Amino acid sequence: MAKFGKMEEGGFDKSYYLYQRNLHSPQKILSSYRRQKGRIMSMIAAFYGGKSILITGATGFLGKVLMEKLFRTSPDLKVIYVLVRPKQGQTLQQRVFQILDSKLFEKVKEVCPNVHEKIRAISADLNQNDFAISKEDMQELLSHTNIVFHCAATVRFDDHLRHAVQLNVTATQQLLLMASQMPKLEAFIHISTAFSNCNLKHIDEVVYPCPVEPKKIIDSMEWLDDAIIDEITPKLIGDRPNTYTYTKALGEVVVQQEGGNLNIAIIRPSIVGATWQEPFPGWVDNLNGPSGLIIAAGKGFLRSIRATPMAVADLIPADTVVNLTLAVGWYTAVHRPKSTLVYHCTSGNLNPCNWGKMGLQVLATFEKIPFERAFRRPNADFTTNNITTHYWNAVSHRAPAIIYDFYLRLTGRKPRMTKLMNRLLRTLSMVEYFINRSWEWSTYNTEMLMSALSPEDQRVFNFDVRQLNWLEYIENYVLGVKKYLLKEDMAGIPEAKQHLKRLRNIHYLFNTALFLIAWRLLIARSQVARNVWFFIVSFCYKFLSYFRASSTLNA
């Protein structure tokens, strides 16, 4: 056997890890890697082997994909600590095991059969002092953690400022304090958002100062009452659209100001979408970002959306974000950059796609892979101004909902469509800001990191979004929404297509009936309409007579 055996993706060569741990500088590791030229091994995967990793937000969309990749590529990591709050009557263990037993983790079970033993759920609520972590658990975390990935956040756009500050700012501050007491800590990776400075058009990979210091905001949240906070919120968030982007920006400032001597990096993903390749294409499990709207369009609720077709749709697949995050964790721990580096994880400047192209591809995919039991045929369109938006909202959203609720009432059922439609319209109003503008994010640090990776790491931890084929990605995204979010069976596609045909026929019938009724009313009331009607009828009669006469002559 060779001294350092071949390491496959998902596999791990322990001897190489031990060897690497004994080396002291990144240069030595790199040169050792080069000496191993010809052997396939991932330095990043090896780096995480034997490590104790703390993840916040592990039960969230990104957190799950992050855990999956870690277990799959570094199955001999020591432990992943996850800070979890009990929810919906489930214990922590149940919550975590439910994730591990999901389809997302199928591949992990093959390479890491003892995955259940390598995860340690710690009861924690990031809204509480010291996160309400028990003394014993805290001691364990402080003395063992090597890497921290801070993913937890409130991502609701309309969260009350007090709550958003608590989770996105104060909790980050507390976590940094904890991190500063971790003697074995090698890197602290903070997940922010590319939209934290969406008030700017061009955004560099730097932390921008906020007009009011985060400390002052945190303090004021302690004594101001809700009514006053509501009043000052618009002034504080300024030209940002919501409390989410504002508090994520404050969170970054806290990281920079209070990071002390820690090795810290900030990652700013844009709009995180379904997975591109890993562990399989199209995985998604929540309604955030475009996913909820894809459902609304596919089920026929969403008929028009105010968007600028040429604006860049800066989507980034969840696995791309995770690959960059793990590469950044490795780089920050091994290379220890002198300052806090910010990495943009965006697609717009490397491989842009616009909302128009994306929307058309979503609609084209519905033709091939329709969703089941649609309310109406998927036929959404973009509007570009206020008047048409209001018009289509009234005609295509509210009116059908009212008619359907009337039908539900008539048949003795509970009306629900108007409520659902109101929620959809509210969601649309929240995302409008992001789909009618384009931003430029510089990606120097991200590109620098890409070039610092070995070819094998570039393959295993691929975050080069230039390789992404948008049409294929969007098709897989829609398919993933159907399979993993709506939990619809592919065997139901023929029936779904039949259902759409029925809806089309109903649509034609309805429109014809509506036209005839309107016309009949018009004729009854207007002489001009009557004249037009007689003209059309006599024209048709003459045409038919001529046609009959010429066919008799030919015979």
Ligand X SMILES: CCCCCCCCCCCCCCCCCCCCCCCCCC(=O)SCCNC(=O)CCNC(=O)[C@H](O)C(C)(C)COP(=O)(O)OP(=O)(O)OC[C@H]1O[C@@H](n2cnc3c(N)ncnc32)[C@H](O)[C@@H]1OP(=O)(O)O
Ligand Y SMILES: NC(=O)C1=CN([C@@H]2O[C@H](COP(=O)(O)OP(=O)(O)OC[C@H]3O[C@@H](n4cnc5c(N)ncnc54)[C@H](OP(=O)(O)O)[C@@H]3O)[C@@H](O)[C@H]2O)C=CC1
Residue ranges that bind ligand Y, judged by CB under 6 A? 57, 59-63, 83, 85, 87, 124-127, 151-155, 167, 191, 193, 248, 269, 271-272, 286, 288-289
Q: Contact between 78 and ligand X (CB under 6 A)?
A: no
Q: Judged by CB, which is closer to ligand Y: 41, or 255? A: 255
Indicate the helix (H) or strand (E) that contains 452: helix 444-452
Q: Is 434 in the site for ligand X (CB under 6 A)?
A: yes
**Partner in contact with 286, chosen from ligand X, ligand Y, none, beta carbon below 5 to 8 Å by kind:** ligand Y
* CA-based end-to-end distance of the chain: 94
Q: Which is nearer to ligand Y, 66 or 450 (CB)?
A: 66
Nearer to ligand X, 71 or 157 (CB): 157
In one letter, which amino acid is 532? V
Joined together, the tokens standing for residue 180 give 């500063």
Q: What is the biggest distance separating any 2 CA atoms in the chain, rounded to whole angstroms?
A: 104
The reply on whether position 367 binds ligand X by CB under 6 A is no
User: What DSSP state is assigned to residue 354?
Assistant: B
Q: Which does 359 bind (CB under 5 to 8 A by kind): ligand X, ligand Y, none?
A: ligand X
158 binds ligand X (CB under 6 A): yes
- Under DSSP, is residue 519 helix (H, G, I), strand (E, B) or coil? helix
**Cβ proximity of 357 and 305 under 8 Å:** no
CA 209, CA 188: separation in Å to the nearest integer? Answer: 21
Nearer to ligand X, 53 or 431 (CB): 431
Take residue 243 and report the two structure tokens written for it: 């409390």
Nearest residue to ligand Y, scored by beta-carbon proximity? 60
258 versus 372: smaller Cβ distance to ligand Y: 258
CA–CA separation, 494 and 482 (whole Å): 14
**Rounded alpha-carbon distances, angstroms, from residue 429 to 248, 423, 426:** 21, 10, 5
Kindly tell me which of 43 and 345 has the beta carbon lying closer to ligand Y: 345
What's the token pair of residue 189? 């990776």
Residue 370 in contact with ligand X, rule: CB under 6 A: no
- 76 or 475: whose CB is closer to ligand X? 475
Beta strand spans in 28-118 (E):
52-56, 79-84
- Please enumerate in sequence order all residues whose Cβ is within 8 A of that of 36, keeping only pairs 6 or more positions apart, or say none: 4, 16
**Considering only residues 287, 311, 350, 408, which one is a binding residue for ligand X as defined by CB under 6 A?**
287
What single letter denotes the amino acid at residue 425? L
Among ligand X, ligand Y, none, what binds residue 290 when CB lies within 5 to 8 Å by partner kind?
ligand X
At 308, list the tokens. 């600028």
Among 7, 148, 217, 431, binds ligand X (CB under 6 A): 431
| Closer CB to ligand X, 271 or 453, in the complex | 271
- Is 345 an interacting residue with respect to ligand X (CB under 6 A)? no
> Three-class SS of residue 336?
coil
Q: Minimal distance in Å, beta carbon 428 to ligand Y?
A: 17
426 counts as binding ligand X under rule CB under 6 A: yes
Here the tokens at position 282 are 């199209």
Query: Going by C-beta distance under 8 Å and a sequence separation of 6 or more, which residues neighbour residue 15?
Result: 3, 4, 5
Residues 180-199 that bind ligand X (CB under 6 A): 193, 195
Strand (E) or helix (H) holding 267: strand 264-269
The smaller minimum CB distance to ligand Y, of residues 104 and 272, is found at 272
What is the number of other CB atoms lying within 10 angstroms of the CB of residue 129? 9
Q: Which does 57 bind (CB under 5 to 8 A by kind): ligand Y, ligand X, none?
A: ligand Y
417 binds ligand X (CB under 6 A): no
Q: Is 273 in the site for ligand X (CB under 6 A)?
A: no
Q: Of ligand Y, ligand X, none, which one sits near residue 294, judging by CB under 5 to 8 A according to partner kind? A: ligand X
Beta carbon nearer to ligand X, 338 or 487: 487
Q: How far apart are CA 288 and CA 270, in angstroms?
A: 12
d(CA 302, CA 314): 21
Dihedral over alpha carbons 91, 96, 101, 104 (to 10 degrees): 140
379 near ligand X, rule: CB under 6 A? no
Please report, for residues 180, 366, 483, the alpha-carbon distance to residue 496 in angstroms, rounded to integers and kept in the order given: 56, 10, 14
From the list 29, 92, 255, 294, which residue makes contact with ligand X (rule: CB under 6 A)? 294
423 binds, among ligand Y, ligand X, none (CB under 5 to 8 A by kind): ligand X
Which of ligand Y, ligand X, none does 341 bind, CB closer than 5 to 8 A by kind?
none
Partner from ligand Y, ligand X, none binding residue 125, C-beta < 5-8 Å depending on class? ligand Y
Least spacing, CB of residue 180 vs ligand Y, in Å: 20
Q: What whole-number distance in Å separates Cα of residue 414 and Cα of residue 184? A: 58
Residue closer to ligand Y, measured from CB, 273 or 370: 273
What residues make contact with ligand X under the rule CB under 6 A? 155-158, 193, 195, 271, 287-290, 292-294, 296-297, 305, 309, 356, 358-360, 362-363, 380-382, 423, 426-427, 430-431, 434-435
